[in-house]
Amino acid sequence: MGADVAGFLAHRAELIASATPGSDAARALSDLTDRAVSALAETALSQLRSPWSVLALGGWGAHRLLPHSDLDLLVVTDAPASELRPALTGVLYPLWDAGLSVGHQVRSRRDHERAVRDDLETLTATLTGRVLCGDAALGARVLTGAAAGARKRSRRIVPELTARERPGSPYLLEPDLKNGAGGRRDLDELTWLAAVLTGAPQATPAALSALNLVDAPEAAALDRAAGLLDGGRWIVHRAAPRASGILTVEEAVESGIDAEALQAAMADVHHVIQRVRGRISGRPTPVDPRSGALAAVDGGALFTLLDRGDEALPALEEAAWAGLLDDLAPAFGELMHVRRPALSHAFTVGAHCLRCATSVAGAGDRPEVAHALEGAGDRRPLLTAAFLHDVGKTQRGPGHAVRGESAVRTLGARFGLSAEQVEDAALLVREHLLLAETAAGLDIHVEDVIVRAASLVPRPDLVDALFVLTAADALATGPGAWNSWHTALIGELCDRIKAALSDSSASAGTIERAEATRLSALALLVERGADAEGAFVSRASLRYLSATAPHDVARHAALIAEVVGSGHPDAFSLSVTTGPTAGTWRASVAAHDRPGLFATLCGALCLSGLDIHGADAWDAQDGIALDVFVVRPDTLAAVDPSTWAAFERHLGSGLADPAGLAVRLAERKRHYPPRTRTRTLVHVEDTGAYATAVRVRAADRPGLLYDIARAFADTGLRLTWARAVTRSGVANDVFHATDDDGEPVTDPGALGHLAMRIRERV
């Protein structure tokens, strides 16, 4: 590699590291590359006897070169291959040796004319091309000829360009800045349209203004957006070892980029290109001023749109972008750009609110939600709550639900709600996290938990409405945020809340339910001739009995009796039944209690390819522990008898040799690293009289629950209950712990030591 190329690479590295991300940086990198490539080409190709011209195509041709962009190079000449081959090596090999990605074509002018007629990708790259060096007139003829020819074929080409797929959404918190909706390719399409419709090469969409396809404010928005997109893409390229278009939440924070301005820029590009496509086709978008239908959206019109479900999203998003929802909710258009990244949230706040509201209608396709919709009564308070449930996030920090409640009381009348309906909608917004947080973080078999929830949602129809809102909120959050497991948990919670609100005998409390279960389980044991197993049932705790069906209590009694009768310290007994939702299993294990038993059980389940959804740990009798897990497969392999045989094998060896179990888990973790990256958070809170709650948020991976359980064992605390919720590769798990005496842990030193141990292990 010559000194000139080495100097170019040094200057290139310095520019990439020091330049302020944006269009100026992209142009500077383009200019620097122009000089280096031109110097190579003029030296290497000067020996050709035929005229030649070197052109930069695509983004490079438009002066938008980024750190990992391909160098899209075209050499136009009629020189014979025997002359070309050695000459081209002088251009291409130094660039390849330097590690640059170079895409090149060598064609005669006539060959390139055929290529742009036959291949749309070649045409679009040429429409933004420019001459680097060589015969400028030859290069100009190639470029102008391609654009002029495209104009003649515009009736065919324009529909092909505007049929391009535009995946994703401009409101994604992790947008694709290149190929996604509102990204660079959308601006490119507008530029290509400008070139085809004018018959001249273009570097920007500016010529669309003269064609009356873009008005002055739209043109200004596109110009601003181009700079912001170039800046965002520069940051993404600079942070990654290879070309990437995704701006992650972490990169947005670490780079210091104005991510909300970038989000607004993508929205501008997205909606302008939709309007341009509509104007070209003669079918303007619903709220394009040129359609004659531009008007602020009132409550009635909003409810009509929302009842169409996800089909209404494009119109609602454009209305929000155009400010047509601001009369209902002031500054809602700005909320479309507000970013509040949270667990599993995929969209900006405003876009999430729209999706939540349309999901109320779409969720009706799910039987459990359809049933709740029937019980919820009038949908208007529910739809209003869904539309406004996160408006409190205009301010940062906790308390957004309370701020949202205040907003509903102020704005409810604008939606056409009566005073009573406004109160219902305000309650739904204030408590929109109640069901999800209670089901995920608290033991819903504890009477105090149900009584508190029932005091916050005082009518059965509001419980149904809150269930629908919870489902819609989760469906709008992102993939995997609502599944059969969440449905079962929250459905059971709602049933218990409604029972507590009822005046019938069905509302019996913990004591009544527990004693009824005890009597039924004892009767089952008598029927089986297993009276001796009744000791466990007679002494079982009210909390255990209120959470367990009578036939499960009887089965657990048999497991415990088997372990007691074995006389072996490492003995255990297993029972497996179908779980509460499709694809899950309930594994009940009785074993001699010991420090770290819960962790050993978690580790054995992990090694058997099982993922833990939830767990309960109970004291049985005479030093026997009963642990009940709800699990599902963690791999694509089916769960069959061999799975449980493997679990028994791993558990047996783990009880005999805990260190060996830890080694095998460490090997599994090396093979299956975390699926995402996130900061580990540990939070301790009081749950009431029964236990101390510890919340752990961390990147999900095999063996995570084992490591957390080991941290509890290391600090001498006992786990009594666990709920594992994983979304988008992030685990948000809750554990209830007591001290050796079964009391909640209140010592700040012990809790601080626990948090430290969890972070160390995770």
Q: Mind listing the pLDDT tens digit for each residue in 679-726?
A: 788 888 766 557 888 888 888 888 888 899 899 888 988 888 887 777
pLDDT at 73 over 50: yes
pLDDT at 321 over 90: yes
Comparing 289-293, 302-306, 666-670, the range with the smallest average pLDDT is 289-293
Mean pLDDT rounded to a whole number for the chain:
90
pLDDT at position 505 is 39
- For residue range 153-162, list pLDDT tens digits in order: 999 999 999 9
Calculate mean pLDDT across residues 203-231: 96
Cβ-in-10-Å burial (0-12, 13-18, 19+) of 238 comes to middle
The CA-based angle 321-322-323, given to 5 degrees, is: 90
- For residue range 581-627, list pLDDT tens digits in order: 888 999 999 999 888 999 999 999 999 999 888 888 887 777 899 99
Please list, residue by residue across 202-230, b when 16 or more beta carbons sit within 10 angstroms of its beta carbon and e when fewer do.
bbbbebbbeeebbeeebbebbeebbebbb
Query: Which tokens in the block code for residue 535?
Result: 């000791």
pLDDT at 674 over 80: no
CB 222 within 8 A of CB 209: no
Is 64 strand, coil or helix? coil
DSSP string, 288-302: -GGGT------HHHH
Is 617 strand, coil or helix? strand
- For residue range 345-391, list pLDDT tens digits in order: 899 999 999 999 999 987 767 888 888 999 999 999 999 999 999 99
Calculate mean pLDDT across residues 489-515: 76
Q: Please state, in angstroms and as integers, the Cα–Cα distance from residue 271 to each residue in 222, 278, 744, following that order.
A: 10, 11, 55
pLDDT at 1 over 50: no
Sign of the torsion formed by the C-alpha atoms of 344, 349, 352 and 356: positive
Taking the CB of residue 155, how many other CB atoms lie within 10 A of it?
7
**Whether domain 3-152 has CATH 3.30.460.10:** yes
Going by C-alpha positions, the residue among 85, 105, 99, 93 that lies closest to residue 40 is 93
pLDDT at position 507 is 46
Going by C-alpha positions, the residue among 541, 518, 574 that lies closest to residue 445 is 541
Give the domain ranges of the chain: 3-152, 568-761
Q: What is the DSSP letter of 347?
A: B
CB 162 within 8 A of CB 217: no
Of 143 and 582, the structure prediction assigns the larger pLDDT to 143
Instruction: Determine the Cα–Cα distance for residues 491 and 584; give it in Å rounded to an integer.
Output: 16
pLDDT at 343 over 70: no
- For residue range 157-195, list pLDDT tens digits in order: 999 999 999 999 999 999 999 999 999 999 999 999 999
pLDDT at position 230 is 96
| Helices vs strands, H then E, count in the chain | 33, 13
- For residue range 98-134, list pLDDT tens digits in order: 889 998 899 999 999 999 999 999 999 999 999 999 9
Tell me the pLDDT band of 506, cut-offs 50, 70 and 90. very low
What is the percent of the chain where pLDDT is above 90? Answer: 59
